[in-house]
Amino acid sequence: MLLRDEEALNYLAVAILLAFPWLGTVLGTWGFIWGALILVAVFLVGRRRGLAIAAFSLLIGYAVPLIVFGATACNQMSFVPLAGLLGVLGWQKNWPVRVTFFWSAALASVLGTIPTLMGQAVSALNESDMINMTIQQYQASGLLAAMQQQGLTEIQFRDVLQQVIHIYALILPSFAALLAVAEFGFVFYFVRIWLKEDEERIPFTRWRLPWYAVWGAVLGIAFYLLGDQFAWTSLRGLGINVMVFYGALTLVLGASVFVYLLKSPKIPRFFKFALIFASFIYLFFSVVSLIMFGLFDIVFNFRRLPEES
C-alpha cells in the first residue's frame, strides 16, 4: 500500500508540473501558495524520477500558456519553480547545503523579478491615478486640511507622494526578489526535511552563505556608484535593488550570528539581557549592526563554522 501511495504521489507531482502553470494562468490563481505547490512537485519528481523528467515536464507546463497567451502570460506566472531544478542538481551532485541553497535562491531571485519587469511596474498613468486617489482619501478624512493648517500645500503633498511612488517603483524588483527567495527557502527547507529525514537539520544559529556570496553586495555598491557617477539610471536602479536585497538577506544572517552569541556560555547572562534591552531601545542602530554583522560574517566566519556544514 505504501508503494502504491508513493507511486500515486509521483504521478500527481508530474501532473502538477504539466497542468498547474496552465491552470494558474487561466484561473488567475498564481500566487505564493500556487508557486510553492509547483516547486514541491519539482523537488519530488526530480528526486524520485530524475532531473530530466522534472525539467521536461516543467518546461512543457510553462510552454503551453506562453504559446497560447503569449508574453502577457509572463505578467501572471511565477518562474520561481524553475530554480528548483538547480536545487535538484545540487542534491544529485552532493553540493554542500548552503552552496545549493545560495545558487538556487540567487536564480529564484532573478526569476522572481520577471513578472515585475514585464508589466507590474508602476506606469505614469497608474502613478497619476494613485496620487489623485490618495488626495481624495485625505480630503475625505480631513487629513489634508489638517496638513494645510501646518503649512503643507496640496502641491507640496503631491510632490511628496510622487517621490514616494518613484522610490516604491524603483525598489519593487528587490521586493519581488525577496518574496521569491522566501518562497524558495520555505519549500527547500520543508522538502529537505521530508525527503532527507536521516540528515541533521541546520539550526538557525548556524545559517551561513558561501564566502563568495559577498561579491553580490560588492557588485550592488559598484553598480550604484557607477550609475550615479555617469548618470546611468538603469545601472543605478540595479545597484539600489541589489543593495536592498542584500540588506534584507544579511539582516537574517546577522540575526543568526546574534542569536548564536546569545547562546554562548562564555557571555555573562547580565550582558545578554543588556544586549537584548539595548537592541529594542536603539532599534535603528541594532538593525544596521545586524546587517553589517551578517555581511562580514560571510567573509570572516565569526562563528568558525565548518565550510561543509
Q: What is the pLDDT of residue 1?
A: 39
d(CA 193, CA 201): 7
Nearest to 195 by CA among 89, 66, 296, 46: 46
DSSP secondary structure string, 181-226? Answer: HHHHHHHHHHHHHHH-TTSPPPPGGG----GGGHHHHHHHHHHHHH
d(CA 271, CA 289): 17
**3-state DSSP assignment of residue 80:** helix
- Asked if 116 and 173 touch (Cβ cutoff 8 Å), the reply is yes
Q: What is the pLDDT of residue 309?
A: 44
Q: What is the pLDDT of residue 198?
A: 47
d(CA 41, CA 141): 48
d(CA 167, CA 162): 9
Q: What is the pLDDT of residue 57?
A: 95
Q: What is the pLDDT of residue 182?
A: 94
pLDDT tens per residue across all 309 residues of the chain: 344 567 788 889 999 999 999 999 988 888 899 999 999 999 999 988 899 999 999 999 999 999 988 877 887 889 999 999 999 999 899 888 889 999 999 999 999 998 887 765 445 446 777 778 888 888 888 887 888 888 878 788 888 888 888 888 888 899 999 999 999 999 998 888 887 754 667 788 889 888 999 999 999 999 999 998 888 988 999 999 999 999 999 999 999 999 998 888 888 888 888 888 888 898 889 999 999 999 999 999 888 887 654
Nearest to 55 by CA among 34, 37, 82, 31: 82
In this structure, the number of other CB atoms found within 10 A of the CB of residue 24 comes to 22
Q: What is the pLDDT of residue 119?
A: 62
- Asked if 58 and 86 touch (Cβ cutoff 8 Å), the reply is no
d(CA 104, CA 88): 9
The answer to pTM > 0.75 is: yes
Burial class (CB in 10 A: 0-12, 13-18, 19+), 38: buried
